[in-house]
Chain A
Amino acid sequence: MTPPLLEIDNLRTWFYTDSGVARSVDGVSMRVDAGETLGVVGESGCGKSVTALSILRLIRAPGRIEPGSAIRFEGKDLLTLAEADIRHVRGNRIAMVFQEPMTALNPVFTVGDQIAEVARIHTDMSRKEAAAKAVEMLRLVGIPDPERRATEYPHQLSGGMRQRIVIAMALVMNPALLIADEPTTALDVTIQAQILELLADLTRRLGTSILLITHDLGVVAENCTRVIVMYAGEVVEEATTSDLFRHAHHPYTEGLLGAMPRVGGHAERLATIPGTVPAPTNWPAGCRFRERCEYAWERCEQEHPPLYQIGEGHVSRCHLAVEPERRANRHVPIAAQVGAGAA
């Protein structure tokens, strides 16, 4: 068996803020295999972006990747690489596409220059060759009239166009891994589909693996072979996409699925998970999802659940794995009870 392309092992990224230590990513492990698209889902504030930024060591003070974490990629531990060596990985072997195409580009440089810059950093291309490469990339991501577009500034382009620019920038060096952090969240629905299709098409052709972060399970269903569900700085469930949609195990995953709009579904109100993600400075003891869970019982209060193996390639951080009979005992979660939280 070939080793995975990327292997994150017990990643803990903490922020030492004035209001306490925010354990935003708190012991996350996952792997991305060569050529696959791994989905990472979870509500806002679960630590998805911090995980993504940690991979490229883009965490800035007051944040810190704690000792004991490891991120192996192409045979190296990215966390122990020298500064010059991690720079060689960034934009070259691992590239990133960020959520906000409106602000991800520098407003005072032309988009052509910003794409060309990647080639200039990682190759010894001349200015002219890099500019030609930028035009080629613009054509690749389906931007019409690329020669002219290359000389334009970000503010002259629409959100969808800008995201194409960011994707072009990410793919210049033909990276082994592309981290896409909610690449379509800020875009119109029709544009979203186009961008995702573009990503899927390009990476299939180039053989790029993708770590696709999203809070939209619909996006996962259409693009990913495997899914990681994150909650409160932890992985709470991992499964193949088909397994997850058919046999979701963790109550949080069930909640996310219930909140998913279905094509052709009736205009019923979407089920939402009551309550909100707790603050990372103050994760609850025991199960971190307990207060929002319809099944929680005493054990969940006392014992932090480990990741239970519940099937081939399927794990879940829920005590239901060992006490499945508790599933019959559904009740109103604490977060939804009268007087709790939002009164």
Chain B
Amino acid sequence: MRRYLAGRLLQALGVVVFVTTLTFVLIHLAPGDPIGQALQGPNVTEAVRNEWRAAYGLDRPLPEQYLRWVASAARGQFGYSFSQHRPVRDVLAESLPRTLLLSSIAILFSFGLGIGVGLLQAERPRGARDRWLGRVLLLLYSVPDFWLALMVLILFAYRLPLFPAGGLHDSVTYAYMSPTGQLLDRIKHLVLPVLTLTMLSTASIARYQRSALVAVLRTDWMRTALAKGLSWRQAVRQHAFRNALLPTITLFSLTVPTFAAGAIFVEMVFSWPGMGFNTVHAIAARDYPLVTSGVLVSSVIVVITALLADIAVAAADPRVRLS
């Protein structure tokens, strides 16, 4: 078990290093640079820009810049954001909690819903309930992500203006609300992004849970459970479910990156100023420090979550735990 953990940790570290290095290289290779983007005025000569480039060390060879960046990132110094004119650390401290809030609620909902729907389907495989739920899931599953997000926006923010179209809270009236009013306003702003993100992932989780359960229903020990005198429903919920949950925890570790990616464009569509939103804007501004640090922090979180999920699987399965 200890050796397994050490191995996984090393692997996780490798992923983080790879992803951040790749990001660093790609964003530097992209045409343009932060100075060019920030100092665009016709009165600024190239000589002035070069001065600034030298001041920020952007004129050094790429490997050197990379090593410098690694050295300071390792000390927790993420540099200064060119586009937002404040320390990257401040930008991250503000946007990370927003993304975590959005995606953790969506993860909670989609796993709760997905597992529940999968169970309802598997209780009577090929029954009417299973078939209907299966059709709905298939529809959700095959709809393009982007289209779904836009549809949600159009339907529930414009056609039926039930919820705000975007943002964290109401930009005008928020400051004048009572604490309860502010909370409600924030919740209202969360609904559509959470709904979209949840719809996007529930289908695959439910399909996965259903097939894991159905596979388990045919096992000998399910027959033993019935022969003991349990009802079908009890046997499914007490015996099969517990076993079929194991692959679903694994699925969790696999879907964390998907959530991270999904969060990016949901944040874009619903103008949710989180990590994804900020990173996309930072890329456009060639804000090297913000892009690389944002990717570094996100990849660390994704990798840690996946690692925790793997440990959870190991802890939940006695065959793994005790070997």
A64 interfacial by beta-carbon distance below 8 Å:
no
B138 CB to nearest chain A CB (Å): 24
Residues of B within 8 A of A118 (CB): 228-229
Query: Given the known A-B contacts A58-B223, A98-B220, A104-B221, are A90 and B322 also in contact in the complex, defined by CB atoms under 8 Å?
Result: no
Known: A105-B224, A106-B224, A153-B318. A87 touches B231 (CB 8 A): yes
List chain A residues, Cβ under 8 A from B219. 103
Q: Are B318 and A98 in contact (CB under 8 A)?
A: no
Asked whether A108 and B317 contact (CB < 8 A) given A98-B220, A103-B221, A153-B322, the answer is yes
**Is B227's CB under 8 angstroms from A56's CB?**
yes
Contact check, B322 vs A156: say whether CB atoms are below 8 A apart.
yes
Interface residues of B in 225-268 (CB under 8 A from A): 225-231, 239, 242-243, 246
Contacts of B322 in A (CB 8 A): 153, 155-156
- Cross-chain contact of A106 among B221, B227, B246 (Cβ < 8 A): B221
| Alpha-carbon separation in the docked complex, A164 to B228 (Å) | 16
List residues of A whose CB falls within 8 A of some B CB: 53, 56, 58, 83, 87-92, 95-96, 98, 100, 103-110, 117-118, 121-122, 153, 155-156, 166, 169
Q: Which residues of A contact B239 (CB under 8 A)?
A: 106, 109
Which residues of A sit under 8 angstroms from B231, Cβ to Cβ?
83, 87
Pair A121/B228 contact, Cβ less than 8 Å? yes
Measured as residues with beta carbon below 8 angstroms from the partner, the interface class of chain B is: 20 to 34
The listed residue (A83, A91, A153) touching B227 by CB distance below 8 A is A91
A204–chain B nearest beta-carbon distance, Å: 23
Could you tell me the distance in whole angstroms from the C-beta of B12 to the nearest C-beta in chain A? Answer: 27
CB distance from A49 to the nearest CB of B (A): 11
Closest-by-CB residue of B relative to A105 is B221
Interchain Cβ contacts under 8 Å between A and B, 12 examples: A58-B223, A58-B226, A88-B229, A91-B228, A92-B229, A95-B227, A98-B227, A104-B221, A106-B239, A107-B317, A108-B243, A109-B242
CA distance A105 to B227 in the complex (A): 12
Least Cβ distance of B238 to chain A in Å? 8
**Contact between chains at A108 and B225 (CB < 8 Å):** no
Is the beta-carbon distance between B224 and A87 smaller than 8 angstroms?
no
- Which B residues touch A96, using CB under 8 A? 224, 227
Chain A residues in 8 Å Cβ range of B2: none
Q: A121 — which chain B residues lie within 8 A by C-beta?
A: 228-230
Q: Chain A residue with minimal CB distance to B223?
A: A58
Residue of A nearest to B317 (CB): A108
The complex places the Cα of A98 from the Cα of B322 at a distance, in Å, of: 26
Contact at B319–A153, with CB atoms within 8 Å? yes
If the complex has contacts A87-B231, A98-B220, A100-B220, are A107 and B226 also in contact, measured as CB distance less than 8 A? no
Instruction: Report whether A155 and B220 are in contact in the complex, using a CB–CB cutoff of 8 Å.
Output: no
Q: Is the CB of A104 within 8 A of B230?
A: no
List, in ascending order, chain A residues with CB within 8 A of B319's CB: 107, 153, 155
Residues on A with beta carbons closer than 8 Å to the beta carbon of B229:
87-92, 118, 121-122
B316 proximity list for chain A (CB < 8 A): 108
